[in-house]
Amino acid sequence: MRRAHFEAYAPVCPGCRGAGVDSPLRLARILRGDAELVDQGVLHCSEPRCQREYPILDGVPILVADVRAHVSHGLLGMLARDDVDDVLMGLIGDCAGPESPLHAMRARLSSYAEGHYSDLDPEQPRPPAILELVDRAAALLPAPASAPALVLGCSVGRECFALAGRVDGLVLGLDLDFSTLRCAARIARAGRLRYARRRVGTVFEPVDRAASFAGADRVDFWLADATALPLASSAAAFATSFNLLDCVHDPLAHVHELDRVVRPGGSALIGTPYDWSPTATAYPAWIGGHSQRGPHRGDAEPVLRGLFDPTWPQAAPGLRVVAEDPDIPWEVALHRRAALRYRVHTLALAKPG
């Protein structure tokens, strides 16, 4: 965790925030770090009646309300080793099999790393899918993005580095997946991209290459829930949420959190392909995708627009739609011979000053 980001974004206790109270977090212990970066440590809630503890591991603070449950569920990603020989790792992967949490973690990391850093492939460089999406979406904004900035659902971080090249100030990436955040943090601090690329089935090959980006020293990564952000209101001048709305347990809460953390005069981008899954989002919480007997015949697009329309009862109170692109292409690699192709509906939003 970069100290500059800790001071600028001033995180609050996620548990207290859920009760509507902004209790600042304090850096209680530094177990490994220096004047600029805390690699391992502990954050404490400053509220005497709370005193929750939040760990910092590999430079990534874990800032969720139910930190015990999240750590218990995500131990594999948090404690995964990266010093195992590739041959032995292949044997372990074969033993674990395609339905194991290990395979799911490696396949997920491979898909996102490919989509974010395919231009760094020395043998077959390709434009990163995420940058094509972000560049086209950014063109919708009435004014350039500004800092401090938030990237919600940042995954392995390429959007954060691209944004740091557009703004002069700090950029903070937030995600719930520790393995992708560790990958992103390594790029920010060591300039190395390391992951196992899925070739086919349970066969992975190691990738370890230089990944240096201008402004990387102004980027940091925190583990946080996009439906319950550990930030005070109006913490950011600009925020993005790409391909995240259909992955959270409460899309409406996510929309309202996006609105809450963008300050008056700020702006935001939100884009989603509406690829709903009941394993990520309970069916009744979907925005569209059901109730085809209603006025929108089950379409999701008018519902998302409505959530930024002040005449709607569930609308976010501040952000308003200023531009829209209904079909921005985005691709997620599965393995060498397969990929998922999406069409992302994107809204540019602004909050009156």
Domain CATH for 123: 3.40.50.150
CA distance 126 to 53: 43
Tell me which residue of 8, 22, 5, 60 sits closest to 223, measured CA to CA.
Answer: 60
Same domain, 116 and 250: yes
CA dist list (Å): 114 to 111, 165, 215, 247, 331 = 5, 21, 21, 19, 10
Does the pLDDT at position 294 exceed 80?
A: no
Does the pLDDT at position 301 exceed 80?
A: yes
Domain boundary among 66, 99, 120: 66
- Residue 17 domain-assigned (yes or no): yes
Does the pLDDT at position 295 exceed 90?
A: no
Peptide bond before residue 148 is cis, with ω within 30 degrees of 0: yes
- Residue 338 domain-assigned (yes or no): yes
- Residue 161 domain-assigned (yes or no): yes
Domain boundary among 41, 66, 91: 66
Same domain, 23 and 161: no
Across 80-105, b (16+ Cβ under 10 Å) vs e yields: eeeeeeeeebbeebeeeeeeeebbeb
Secondary structure element (H or E) that encloses residue 240, with its range:
strand 236-242
Same domain, 158 and 258: yes
Give the pLDDT mean for 171-181: 97
- Residue 330 domain-assigned (yes or no): yes
- Residue 73 domain-assigned (yes or no): no
Our separate counts of H helices and E strands in the chain read 11, 13
Give the pLDDT mean for 148-175: 97
Same domain, 57 and 102: no
Residue-range definition of the domain harbouring residue 136? 79-350
Does the pLDDT at position 289 exceed 90?
A: no
Does the pLDDT at position 82 exceed 90?
A: no
Same domain, 126 and 262: yes
- Residue 169 domain-assigned (yes or no): yes
Same domain, 152 and 226: yes
pTM, 2 dp = 0.95
Which tokens go with 41?
């440590």
- Residue 72 domain-assigned (yes or no): no
Same domain, 147 and 52: no
Give the pLDDT mean for 177-181: 97
In total, how many domains does the chain have? 2
Does the pLDDT at position 331 exceed 80?
A: yes
Same domain, 117 and 60: no
Same domain, 150 and 294: yes
- Residue 53 domain-assigned (yes or no): yes
Name the band, by pLDDT with cuts 50, 70 and 90, for residue 291.
confident
Does the pLDDT at position 298 exceed 80?
A: no
Same domain, 14 and 110: no
Same domain, 114 and 13: no
Percent above pLDDT 90 for the chain: 94
Same domain, 10 and 136: no
Lowest mean per-residue pLDDT among 4-8, 87-91, 238-242, 257-261: 87-91
Which tokens go with 339?
């990929």
